[in-house]
Structure 1
Amino acid sequence: MEDPAAITQLRCASECLEFRQSYDHHDSDQQQRQVLDYTSGLWSHLPEQVMERILAFLPLPSFFRFRSVCKRWNSLMYSSRFLQICSQIGGITTRRPWFLMLKEPAITLTSEGWLYNPCARKWSKLPLSFLPPGARVVATADGILCCSIYSETRVMASKSSCKKLLVCNPLTKTCIELPSTLKERFVPTVGIVVNPETNSYKVMVAGDDMISPFAVKNLTTEVYDSRTNRWRMAATALPRLCNLESGKTVFVQGTFYCMNYNPFSVLAYDIEQEEWTNIQAPMKRFIRTPNLVVCRGRLVLVAAVEKNRLNVPKSIRMWGLQKQQQQHQSSAKNCTSWVELERMPQALYEDFLIRVSSSSSSSSSRSCEETSSSQEGVLLFSCVGNGDLILITMQNSPEMLILDLFEKVWRWLPRCPYIIGELLDDIIGHGMVVQGFPFNPRLDGLQNRN
């Protein structure tokens, strides 16, 4: 058992260390003072293990600043002992939500992503050049990226079939290539979930099985478990008439969820029961660009509501899924329903429309039971949720909008300083969307724990 008093003292020491570095950083006349040389004075007399425990309590941005102090501190992120300390005390990890942004399609021919820290309202770069050619980020969980690996010829063709995946921690550049999936799938839907206590993880892959380069058959599911290092086929197939073209999935309380576009619904996969169920979506005849996110620990569906010639105001709305248990002939049955949680204020919605490039009107939007190329006011956007926050990115625009679902506060994000030049032209002129993923940076991700 950890001594609470000792933990408090170590945390205070780390805060003192961070304060002193911050103080001297802003004192331009004394930046070269001996106080920054922690090889002398108080810090030089601390045992190495005590110093590591103090550093482990620092918030992640401060830790990366302090890596420049000396080679020893710079090497800590690769030290198994230091990472074990971080795991034990929960240090060097981000309790508050961050977001990872990538240009869609998120293929790492682009060698970096961008991290947004909502608390500090700051952007930073995340180098991804260490990933192999053709790696495409498809899912994230607890600071771990899951990537599909395509051959170079298939990268140029964008989405195609895939059997190889890898997981990585982009902070430590630790990569693990998973065994090949049992079946090759066309545009697979991929999801990952991490057990933070053991650092074990499971990866779910579902979609159309490739039986030849030009044909698909069946919709199957398989799950990889890092504890066994094996893939296992699910006992049941997906419901008939499925269309999982989005490739996106989210995980909430033991269940993976993804959008089904034909017919329009939400598909749920219970990872323990190995069963798929079909959930009817709200207002399915009127919504456009549906997105599934996790916010405040529950599944939330975000979509534009657009229906001409009916008394249905255009807006962006959010519904939360809630489960109810009903008794039917002495057997319990889980029933689901949707509850509207929030809708974008009308003035903000009009501002939202103004900021979207005018070329978006020529873009096609997926509508489930009703699709028409003559629709007006169609929006194409992407959403990602993390903690209490939902972040919205738009096609043809670098603008991003965020909602604090707890405080019911909307605000525009500061423009990402790294979306400039040709990249900005690609987003504005070619209908691309900046794709977001939930990301909680942690150094001890993918580290084995006994």
Structure 2
Amino acid sequence: MKASSSAAASAYGGGCGGGQDVRLDGRIWRNLPAGLVDRVLALLPPGEFFRLRVVCKRWYSLLFSDSFLEASLRLSPRRQWLAFFLLSSLSTSSAVAAAAATAVPLLPALILDPATSTWLRLPLASFLPPGFSAAAADAGIICFISDAPGPKTVLLCNPLSKLVAHLPPTPLPRLYPSVGFTAGPSSLSLILAGDDLISPFAVKNLTAECFHADGATGFYSPWSTVSQLPRLCNPDPARLVFSAATFYCMSSSPFAVLAYDVAGNVWSKIQAPMRRFLRSPSLAARGSSAVLLIAAVEKSKLSVPRSVRVWSLQPCAKAWAEVERMPPEIYRQFSEAEGGRGFEAVGHGDILGVTIKGSTDVILFDFGRKEWRWAPPFPFSSSTSGELRGFAYEPRLATPAVGLIDSSSLSFQ
């Protein structure tokens, strides 16, 4: 393992006093126990790990080692990344129909690391088929749904390991349903709601259907859990967020929040705060126990200034409390960039990201620092103009929940 020891020394050896480059004796690295080396590698950021896989055959094979992947799950620090996908500038229905007709290959996922303010590019086309769009994400898994109208096919993908699981098609045909997804160490739940195709030319928001799998209890329910949506609802097709065993999504005309209790298999409505004066409301999750509502407030009376505000759903799940308001100077910048086109929000831990429709601009809020800031300029060019849709993404080398489904894995090229 001569090559590996010298490369590792170069990777981990650093400069010290006087700016001298100090390299550790290769004999030290050569004699380190394999378990200790694996522990160090498991602590590395995903990008660093994949760069070091070329050092030797053993390190390359670690991605297929159950013991190493288990160590990575236990030891690797959690990273609050945001994954963005470029959407077509066409209307939603037109974009879906065009994508289904032409089977456009998937564009790369664009990863933003808020901690370092850097963008990363994550190619997907080499192992995911065309005709699918990102719909939800959780626990290192990104959920993709087929664009073609009809019974929906869902793919669960770990983009780092290139592990892809194919769920059975849904029994009910839909056009562009709202999608919610959550995954734990040994379980997953997926929900598709609304846009029921009652004929080739008409849709209605009538039902939702769920897919559940739990490896600990052996429970497996493939699309057999069907529930009726509340009357006079219009779910936002962007996404559902999950918190405390409940999925939440926005409903428009009038604005309300729909809540789906997974255990009880029942839907309910929650009144939105200041709903008569909200513009472009959307939901985001903060951790696993808080749901946020983000919206512009536009009231004609001067006593209530225009702003973008953030509310948190209280434990009673019936009331909202305002927790943040965009400062006036930041709001002026945001308002100029947004131009009334609308926006969406995505949350991951203490990070809240807001994307502007028809733009690739992203503004971030850090709850820990109480700081609003613009993300660095979008670095990747594309021949397709459009806007960004964001998802909470935590990079993980191993995602055991995917193993609950019959899956196929492609090796890295």
Q: 1: distance between equivalents of 2:332 and 2:303?
A: 18
- Compared CA separation, residues 310 and 240, structure 1 to 2 (3 A): farther
Instruction: Identify the structure with bigger relative contact order (alpha carbons < 8 Å, sequence gap 6+).
Output: 2
**CA contact 2:236–2:249 (8 Å) conserved in 1:** no
Matched, 1:181 2:144: no
| Structure 2 residue matching 1:248: 3-state secondary structure | coil
**CA contact 2:174–2:195 (8 Å) conserved in 1:** yes
Instruction: Give the equivalent residue in structure 2 for 1:210.
Output: 197
Per-residue deviation, 1:396: 3.3
Matched, 1:134 2:123: no
- Compared CA separation, residues 245 and 338, structure 1 to 2 (3 A): closer
- Compared CA separation, residues 323 and 417, structure 1 to 2 (3 A): same
Out of 23, 30, 33, which is 1:44 matched to? Answer: 30
Stretch moving more, 71-80 or 134-143: 71-80
Q: 2: distance between equivalents of 1:175 and 1:207?
A: 26
Stretch moving more, 108-117 or 343-352: 108-117
List aligned pairs for 1:193-232, cutoff 5 A: 193-196=182-185, 198=186, 200-217=187-204, 219-227=206-214, 228-232=219-223
Listed as ranges, the gaps of 5+ residues in structure 2 are 1-6, 89-95, 405-413
Matched, 1:406 2:368: yes
TM-score by length of 1: 0.76
Q: 1: distance between equivalents of 2:195 and 2:359?
A: 32
Q: What root-mean-square deviation, in Å, do the aligned CA atoms of Structure 1 and Structure 2 show?
A: 2.9
- Compared CA separation, residues 235 and 176, structure 1 to 2 (3 A): closer
Per-residue deviation, 1:178: 0.2
TM-score by length of 2: 0.83
- Compared CA separation, residues 245 and 294, structure 1 to 2 (3 A): closer
| Structure 2 residue matching 1:187: 3-state secondary structure | coil
Per-residue deviation, 1:34: 8.3
Instruction: Give the equivalent residue in structure 2 for 1:148.
Output: 145
Matched, 1:116 2:112: yes
Out of 262, 266, 285, which is 1:275 matched to? Answer: 266
Instruction: Give the equivalent residue in structure 1 for 2:121.
Output: 125
List aligned pairs for 1:16-415, cutoff 5 A: 21=11, 23=13, 41-87=27-73, 90-92=74-76, 94-105=77-88, 109-129=105-125, 130-150=127-147, 154=148, 160-196=149-185, 198=186, 200-217=187-204, 219-227=206-214, 228-234=219-225, 236-296=227-287, 297-308=289-300, 311-324=303-316, 336-356=318-338, 360=339, 378-415=340-377
| Structure 2 residue matching 1:406: 3-state secondary structure | coil
| Structure 2 residue matching 1:95: 3-state secondary structure | coil
| Structure 2 residue matching 1:226: 3-state secondary structure | strand
Listed as ranges, the gaps of 5+ residues in structure 1 are 1-16, 155-159, 325-334, 361-377, 427-431
TM-superposition CA deviations, 1:317-352 (whole Å, max 9, x none): 11111033xxxxxxxxxx610111111111111111
| Structure 2 residue matching 1:66: 3-state secondary structure | helix
Q: 2: distance between equivalents of 1:394 and 1:291?
A: 12
TM-superposition CA deviations, 1:193-237 (whole Å, max 9, x none): 1113x2x21111111322321233561122112335532444641
TM-superposition CA deviations, 1:79-102 (whole Å, max 9, x none): 333213323xx134x413111011
Per-residue deviation, 1:445: 0.9
TM-superposition CA deviations, 1:262-305 (whole Å, max 9, x none): 33200000111111110000111111111100125311000011
**CA contact 1:139–1:192 (8 Å) conserved in 2:** yes
Q: 2: distance between equivalents of 1:246 and 1:339?
A: 25
Per-residue deviation, 1:63: 1.7
- Compared CA separation, residues 308 and 212, structure 1 to 2 (3 A): same
| Structure 2 residue matching 1:138: 3-state secondary structure | strand
Out of 439, 444, 448, which is 2:393 matched to? Answer: 439
Per-residue deviation, 1:24: 5.5
Q: 1: distance between equivalents of 2:311 and 2:9?
A: 43
Match of 1:409, as an amino acid? E
**CA contact 2:341–2:358 (8 Å) conserved in 1:** no
Give the number of aligned pairs: 376
**CA contact 2:112–2:118 (8 Å) conserved in 1:** yes
Q: 2: distance between equivalents of 1:224 and 1:256?
A: 13
Per-residue deviation, 1:43: 2.6
Q: 1: distance between equivalents of 2:29 and 2:9?
A: 15
Match of 2:369, as an amino acid? E
Give percent identity, aligned residues only: 38
List aligned pairs for 1:414-433, cutoff 5 A: 414-418=376-380, 420=381, 422-423=383-384, 426=385, 432-433=386-387
| Structure 2 residue matching 1:336: 3-state secondary structure | coil
